[in-house]
Homo-oligomer: A and B are copies of this chain.
């Protein structure tokens, strides 16, 4: 009953098999491996973006911080949601990689910025001439930190606000596959067709051992990205093992199948939870992450039964949790968790 995070899961068998295949013989290092050539072609095809630049790194924080660093100057503001991973969970990696850009927080219910809240925050920022930080870029997370998803139209509405100020848009897609499955749209529809300039395309949380792609739809800054990646220590010498993970991930739709399982388990959990007395969800849960509120005493009971998840701040007289399903969550896991949470 592991629902703490999708990154406590292992890797999918197809991925491990690909690693073993990749291990055979010699390969050129630093991204010049033959598998990476194929990965580049896969990503471009899947995203319908024949010019896109594609780079791999081993962590989501690296993907995000490097992506921001090529889009925002040191004196720029990165507009993002109050709860964004880049704001809350990366120990200042964005500030480090951008040499001191400022994250300016945009409020919004359920982890989502709205065009209005974004526009208002942008309007208040960058009005001080040379004295204040300048408007720099927008970063959108999908699936959000609240487990909700933006539709392409919602993403496009946010990037339209960005574009009206001449700002580029980044999408933090640590759970990009889950977002696509939740909304039923194509990779292109969710990204460049919706105005996204750079994507952190996550894999680690969805069945890899540690690999994320950065997809830069306008390749003008590709070389700068390469230099920043190297300089950040994120260009792996035995790069083939990153390539192999992503190749397996993108082959025969594995990535969407894995996310589909995670989301299905999320949905099953949502149905089960809301059927329990006194349990409700704080946010819509279209993907694999749920934020239930439940009666006092539930934590103790669940913990005694071996359930593993994060406890969250809760309203008075209640308890709250974050539950995350993954590609490896099973029907039995869900049933067991629901049993553990049920009053006796």
Contact = CB atoms under 8 A, between A and B. Distances in A.
Contacts of A311: none
Nearest to A226: B130
B230 A90 contact: yes
A235 B59 contact: yes
A66 B74 CA distance: 14
Contact of A233 (B61, B88, B132): B61
Interface in A1-51: 2, 4-5, 7-11, 16, 19-20, 22-30
Copies, count:
4
A130 B223 CA distance: 9
Contact of A231 (B28, B66, B96): B96
A92 B65 contact: no
Contacts of A29: 5, 7-8
B7 A235 contact: no
Interface size class of A (residues with CB under 8 A): 35 or more
Interface in A231-247: 231-238, 241
Interface stretch (A97-105, A266-274, A282-290, A293-301): A97-105
Given A74-B96, A92-B101, A134-B227, A60 B19 contact: no
Interface string A216-236: 000000001011101111111
Nearest to A241: B209
A90 B204 CA distance: 26
A89 interface: yes
A237 B75 contact: no
Contact of A102 (B65, B95, B233): B95
A20 B15 CA distance: 11
Interface in A74-120: 74-75, 88-93, 95-103
